[in-house]
Amino acid sequence: MKRLSIRWQLTLWYALALAVMLCAFSFLLCLLVWQQVLSRTDNGLREELREIGLEVALTDSATTFASQAAARFSQHDFYEFLVTDVNGNTIFSSSTTVYDMVPKAADSPDGQFQTVPLEGLGPYRIASTRMDSTFGKLNVQVMTSLQPLYNDQASLQWVVALLLPIAVLLAIASGQFLAGRALRQVQQVVDETHAIDISNLDRRIPVSNPDDEIGQLTIALNSLIARLERAINEIRRFTADASHEIRTPLATLRLEAESALRSPRTPEEYQQTLAVVLEETTRLGKLSDQLLNLSRHDAGIIPCQQDPVQLDALLLDVIEQIKPLAEAGSLSLSVNINSHCEILGDDISLSQVFFNLLENAIKYTAAGGEVAVELSCQSDEALIEITDTGIGVAAENLPYLFDRFYQADPSRSSSGGGSGLGLSIARAAVLMHAGSIEIQSQPGEGTRVSVRLPVSSQADPSRSDAPHRLTV
């Protein structure tokens, strides 16, 4: 059935189930009809035994009984009678045809019914019993032919055998019709889905009934299309932003090269031009590295190392690297490490995370401001908080800070040299370490970035290092 359509599969399964039920019903019907007819036959035989028993009770001699029984029972249309004494001598027989074929009453169980096939006559139903009379004990047998019942049963079976295939064929036809009606909405969903391509991802499939299975499938498809639309829009925006970020340094390089070639210049001017070229190529290289890093995170090809990392020592190393930038901005840089903390991870990736966060904090904090780093280690997680007294971020911009190339103040991008990828890279690295990162900020009051990382072990939980405080 794998090659058949769902419509045909439903139809054939429906027809098969119906055929099985009809066969079972027909078998039970024939069985019950036969049992009912046989029960009525036995009741008739029992009634005839009672009638002939009354004749035995009313007579006082075998001769009188034989004459009265012959007058009453010899010409019966349906039943045959045989009465014998205990010695097997026949007292009365309504038919000589079946006399020699019938088993002797003495060999038959008293009060029982049995079916006996008689040669040339077909099956007979025989009721046997023993009676007391004034002229001795008697064996009484009443019998009737079952051939008409067998013929009726065979006719019923033929009717069932003829009607069963017709019923199955009707079931297949009705199943095809009903399955077609049920699956018509599926075909409509398929047609609507085929009509949606990358140029009209804003289009949705109509939902006729959200409570049935097809409605649920349609809702799921609409949700998938919505996610695909968001992904495509993000790719388009990412491509546009990346092109813009790359075009700006390239335009600068071209302008400087054209200016240098336009007219002869002094060595100092050439040196200044080369410095600009070096700065822009460095910016291009950094942007390329960031884009490559993000693409590797997206593809999942950057494995997270599970090496022991001393988080306090790593933060102190990053502080030493960032100190010149803080000194250049006349900022106060303070470090408060409360405990010795060890985690499992990649020290290079984590160093890049904290360097990017500190770089952002210093970049957007005015001269004379303060940037603070605090590490606190608990039994299950390490909390790193980087706080600054910078310009802050408006509430409406906070949800988008981790988006690629997003900048709350685009006018500062060219002057600050930022590409808008630092926070995206930081979040990807933190998530790779099974951690979390969040930002709280108020315009004009500063920003607090909180990074939580799972702790592997604490080398010495009782140890509390003296806070490291740097002012530059």
Task: Look up the CATH number of the domain holding residue 104.
Answer: 3.30.450.20
pLDDT for res 463: 47
- Residue 160's contacts (CB-CB under 8 Å, 6 or more residues apart) are 26, 29, 30
- The answer to whether position 294 is within a domain reads yes
Strands ordered across the beta sheet of 122-133: 90-93, 79-85, 136-145, 122-133, 112-118
pLDDT at 462: 45
Q: Is residue 158 part of a domain?
A: no
- The verdict on 372 and 415 lying in the same domain is yes
CATH number of the domain to which 274 belongs: 1.10.287.130
Q: What is the DSSP letter of 370?
A: E
Residue 263 lies in a domain: yes
DSSP states of 224-277: HHHHHHHHHHHHHHHHHHHHHHHHHHHHHHHHHHHHHHHS---HHHHHHHHHHH
Read off the pLDDT band of 36 (50, 70, 90).
very high
Boundary of a domain, candidates 277, 299, 321 = 299
Percent of the chain past pLDDT 70, that is, above it, reads 84
Q: What pLDDT score does 461 carry?
A: 44
Residues 183, 5: Cα–Cα separation, whole Å: 11
Do 258 and 326 belong to one domain? no
pLDDT of amino acid 1: 45
Of 46-50, 53-57, 328-332, 468-472, the one with minimum mean pLDDT is 468-472
Q: Are residues 281 and 329 in the same domain?
A: no
Query: Which ranges constitute the DSSP H helices of 329-404?
Result: 347-363
Give the three-state DSSP class for 470: coil
Q: List, in sequence order, every residue forming a beta bridge with 116; answer none if it has no partner.
A: 124
Query: Residue 42's closest CA among 105, 124, 104?
Result: 124
What's the confidence (pLDDT) of residue 52? 87
In a shared domain, residues 295 and 315: no
CA–CA separation, 128 vs 404, rounded Å? 102
SS3 84: strand
What local confidence, expressed as pLDDT, does residue 238 receive? Answer: 67
Confidence of residue 304 (pLDDT cuts 50, 70, 90): low
* Residue 347 lies inside a defined structural domain of this protein: yes
pLDDT per position as a tens digit, 445-467: 889 999 999 987 544 444 444 44
Q: With left for phi above 0 and alpha for psi between -120 and 50, is residue 405 left, alpha or beta?
A: left
Model confidence pLDDT, tens digit, residues 260-292: 777 787 888 778 878 878 877 877 776 677 667
pLDDT band at 85 (very low <50, low <70, confident <90, very high): confident
Encoded amino acid at 20, one letter: V
Same domain, yes or no: 321 and 445: yes
Looking at the structure, tell me whether residues 383 and 293 fall in a common domain: no
Domain that holds residue 437: 307-454
Kindly state the DSSP code that residue 390 receives in the 8-state scheme.
S
Residue labelled with tokens 């509390």: 464
For residues 155-160, give the mean pLDDT: 90
84 assigned to some structural domain: yes
User: How far is the C-alpha of 375 from the C-alpha of 309, rounded, in Å?
Assistant: 14
Q: What is the pTM of this model?
A: 0.49
What pLDDT is attached to residue 290?
64
Contact assessment for residue 139 and residue 85, using Cβ atoms and an 8 Å cutoff: yes
Residue 68: inside a domain, yes or no? yes
Q: Of 265, 299, 333, which marks where a domain is finished? A: 299
The larger pLDDT score, comparing residue 81 to residue 419, is at 81
Last residue of a domain, one of 245, 276, 299: 299
For residue 200, give the amino acid letter: N
**316 lies in the same domain as 448:** yes
CATH of the domain at 393: 3.30.565.10
Residue 10 forms part of a structural domain: yes
pLDDT at 119: 78
> Is the pLDDT reported for residue 299 higher than 70?
no
Least confident of 45-49, 79-83, 101-105, 456-460: 456-460
Residue 462 lies in a domain: no
Do 285 and 332 belong together in one domain?
Answer: no
**What is the average pLDDT value for the chain, to the nearest integer?**
80
Phi then psi dihedrals of residue 34, to 5 deg: -65, -45
Shared domain check, 444 and 332: yes
Total number of domains constituting the chain: 3
